[in-house]
Structure 1
């Protein structure tokens, strides 16, 4: 029986500028990992072209690998050598001289707060410490572009914040272009300059987090009333629908629109019990685009 053809990625078009911090989001099975594996030469594309760090991924994969860093979801370091030795060995594999590898290892140990751990074996480190070591291994050859595949997944909130502090410090220090996937939407929202959302193998949104939220989700005003009659009248005035005593409307610039709405409702004799504004999330953007949530079943708790 002939197997059905599966198109994990279909005709995506990306252009990332040097120095950008780009978050690549989507539910499981959307094509994130396949795209990342193609861009890092781990998976040959079946059609199309891609130029990464000035090199063609199909015709010059070795040239791409020499110019990028890649931090996968699993730990990169071995278990039987000291942290410092792992970094030096990685540097030697990239063609650094012995002294260059030692100097670069010392630089990254200091930058990533790994100096106190330099003589320990990776297997004795905590999850957050190991992720910092993974990042150091990906940077040992001074790549202009670093791919990070879910760098903070599985870490506790404090370790996640620590990892992000180091990632941002690296970008500030070296000007490295960062292309990352993450399951934590609040990370992409607060840290990334650009957010790209992929679903069913195609890109469905691309822009800053603020642009996507304003254009595709919009702010919300939620008011409650004392009676369903007032709620119905408030819904009519706001162009929204009422759910019991609650009325929620989508508006542009909710913070500035709320005072005018309250004045209008008061003039119409509607008594408002509570009123609040909320900014949308990236999950709201995905919901507006697809009718489902990025958080439904696809992302870890």
Structure 2
């Protein structure tokens, strides 16, 4: 695959944290521009480490990673762990991150209002420390979307989200990919929802066993649904 067609390309990625904990084992991955890439795999297979390496937060021991988005303000990241300031309101949190991304105050306010409604969040004067766990996760998701980045990396964005909102999230992500050429890498434990992704990367023990469309993956495994192919 020509790297110029890719938003993200990972080649021969190797990472270990100690001699007994090899997390990535020569992994190869290609994420095309304007697509949703569903990264599936059991807990502990290396998904989060791979995402952190793509972001540059964790360094590979060997291999290389190409990311077309050269500036951090062109990347949005929703981590699995919750790490927002408890003593800030939602509005203050948006302002804090928005200014880090170089956004104008008025743009932060407009985007914030849209995201509050989209993600069913409470009033913006609510303190982060007073939110439920699900609301904090959705606020973290909103921050990833706030600055309208070209590359979105989302680690379990629909965890704990009700089916109606989850469907709305996928609808918006698909629209962003198709109409705005955004590139989205998403991990999820809800296997069947990943059927909406353009490409599925099936990860086991630090390598990708398959990198295909959902339809190709199910056909090759002779399965009628994605969950059977995953198992």
* Superposition TM-score, scaled by structure 1 size: 0.63
1:123 aligns with 2:126: no
- Secondary structure at the residue paired with 2:110? helix
Report the Cα distance in structure 2 between the residues aligned to 1:37 and 1:6, rounded to whole angstroms.
16
- Secondary structure at the residue paired with 1:117? coil
CA deviation digits over 1:215-237, x for unaligned, max 9?
12x15xxxxxxxxxxxxxxxxxx
2:169 to 155, 166, 173: 166
> 1:19 corresponds to which residue?
34
1:197 aligns with 2:194: no
Deviation at 1:149, TM superposition (A): 0.7
> 2:183 corresponds to which residue?
177
1:102 aligns with 2:102: no
> 1:84 corresponds to which residue?
91
Deviation at 1:161, TM superposition (A): 3.9
Structure with larger RCO (C-alpha < 8 A, sep 6+): 2
Report the Cα distance in structure 1 between the residues aligned to 2:117 and 2:173, rounded to whole angstroms.
12
User: Contact (CA 8 Å) 2:69, 2:151: kept in 1 or not?
Assistant: no
User: Contact (CA 8 Å) 2:200, 2:211: kept in 1 or not?
Assistant: yes
Deviation at 1:167, TM superposition (A): 4.1
- Secondary structure at the residue paired with 1:162? helix
Deviation at 1:5, TM superposition (A): 5.1
Aligned ranges 1:122-161 → 2 under 5 Å: 122-153=128-159, 155=160, 159-161=162-164
Structure with more strand by fraction: 2
1:68 aligns with 2:75: yes
Deviation at 1:283, TM superposition (A): 3.8
User: Contact (CA 8 Å) 2:94, 2:143: kept in 1 or not?
Assistant: yes
> 1:208 corresponds to which residue?
213
Deviation at 1:76, TM superposition (A): 4.1
CA deviation digits over 1:124-179, x for unaligned, max 9?
334443332111111222211111111223x16xx254134124224425543211
What count of residue pairs does the alignment treat as equivalent? 211
CA deviation digits over 1:91-138, x for unaligned, max 9?
011222333333332343344344x52221223334443332111111
CA deviation digits over 1:257-290, x for unaligned, max 9?
xxxxxxxxxxxxxxxxxxxxxx2x334324xxxx
Report the Cα distance in structure 2 between the residues aligned to 1:178 and 1:27, rounded to whole angstroms.
20
Runs of 5+ in structure 2 lacking a partner? 1-17
> 1:257 corresponds to which residue?
none
> 2:226 corresponds to which residue?
282
Runs of 5+ in structure 1 lacking a partner? 56-62, 220-278, 287-292, 294-301
* Superposition TM-score, scaled by structure 2 size: 0.80
Deviation at 1:50, TM superposition (A): 1.0
Aligned ranges 1:228-239 → 2 under 5 Å: none
